[in-house]
Structure 1
């Protein structure tokens, strides 16, 4: 059985904030952090703030 990764709330917030910067690709942030872009998109949807300014 595959182990499920655990990410701290601080790490999730940090990654979501990086994705909110203009001109940044979610996929690029995901690769830099060694996680799936789908995971980051889920974090942005479930965060209390919009995934990008103006949303």
Structure 2
């Protein structure tokens, strides 16, 4: 039972990773078709996640 659960989790993890890769790749390719323009956020409203 535990072995089957491990195999199932392993397969689901790879499925999610593959899906995330293809979605990210698709978004990257769509961005390159639009001239490679990246929408910049307003730097005034941005705060760093932590202070050094």
Identify which of structures 1 and 2 has the higher relative contact order when contacts are C-alpha pairs closer than 8 Å and 6+ apart.
1
Report the structure number with the largest CA radius of gyration: 2
Whether TM exceeds 0.5 here: the answer is no
Give me the TM-score of the superposition, normalised by structure 2.
Answer: 0.30
Give me the TM-score of the superposition, normalised by structure 1.
Answer: 0.29
